């Protein structure tokens, strides 16, 4: 009879104890808050860093083109146009009309394009500002992105051609 009472008590529902399976602890709350903060930062800063990566890829592409094309003025002009066309931001002009402006608004004179002969290399450097809006906080953050790449322009020697 005494065993029946113990079995009945074991089967009855009791409130969750601290550390019991399924209980919410401070560690769980901290992890959820950390994941929420990481998600928020990824949504706010992720697109800006993805665009910065794309800008650096365009610079690398034009560095590769510079191996065969010695016309630096043409390459620089085309690179700036390509970077300006990557992404645009909606805005309003002085007359109140909607306009699209390049997100990365650089000019040819903003870019340092230096080709050297020994060793053959190309150094490209510039920086551009980005204004990032923080949702739910009604604030903006000014972030300056820098591109500073030195690329090898030596033509590869793949051995005798067949």
The verdict on residue 88 lying in a domain is: yes
**Torsions phi, psi of 91, nearest 5?**
-155, -170
Which residue in 99, 103, 105 sits closest to 87, CA to CA? Answer: 103
The verdict on residue 21 lying in a domain is: no
The verdict on residue 11 lying in a domain is: no
The verdict on residue 134 lying in a domain is: yes
Q: What span, in angstroms and rounded, lies between the C-alpha atoms of 133 and 102?
A: 17
Please tell me the pTM assigned to this model: 0.77
Here the tokens at position 114 are: 């230096």
Q: Tell me whether residue 53 is exposed, middle or buried, using C-beta atoms within 10 angstroms of its C-beta: 0 to 12, 13 to 18, 19 or more.
A: exposed
Spell out the residues 6+ positions from residue 78 whose beta carbon is closer than 8 angstroms to its own.
Answer: 62
Domain housing 68: 26-152
Angle at 111 between CA 56 and CA 48, to 5 degrees: 40
Q: Tell me whether residue 123 is exposed, middle or buried, using C-beta atoms within 10 angstroms of its C-beta: 0 to 12, 13 to 18, 19 or more.
A: middle
The verdict on residue 6 lying in a domain is: no
The verdict on residue 12 lying in a domain is: no
One-character DSSP codes across 89-111: EEEE-TTS-EEEEESS---GGG-
The verdict on residue 102 lying in a domain is: yes
Question: How many independent structural domains does the chain possess?
Answer: 1
The verdict on residue 7 lying in a domain is: no
Instruction: Please give the chain's pLDDT, 162 residues, in tens.
Output: 565 655 555 555 555 565 677 788 898 899 999 999 999 989 989 999 999 999 999 999 999 999 999 999 999 999 999 999 999 888 888 888 998 989 999 999 999 999 998 889 999 999 999 988 888 888 989 999 999 999 999 888 888 876
């Amino acid at each position: 009879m005494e065993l029946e009472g113990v079995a009945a008590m074991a089967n009855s529902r009791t409130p969750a104890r601290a550390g019991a399976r399924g209980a919410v602890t401070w560690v769980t709350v901290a992890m959820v808050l950390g994941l929420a903060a990481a998600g928020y930062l990824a949504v706010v800063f992720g697109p800006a860093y993805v665009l910065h990566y794309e800008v650096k890829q365009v610079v690398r592409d034009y560095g590769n083109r510079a191996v065969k094309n010695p016309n630096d003025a043409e390459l620089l002009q085309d690179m700036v146009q390509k970077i300006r066309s990557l992404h645009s931001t909606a805005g309003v002009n002085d007359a109140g009309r909607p306009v699209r402006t390049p997100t990365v608004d650089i000019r040819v004179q903003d870019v340092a394009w230096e080709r050297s002969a020994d060793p053959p290399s190309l150094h490209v450097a510039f920086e551009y500002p980005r204004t990032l809006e923080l949702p739910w906080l009604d604030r903006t953050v000014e972030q300056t992105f820098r591109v500073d790449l030195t690329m090898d322009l030596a033509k590869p020697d793949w051995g005798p051609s067949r």
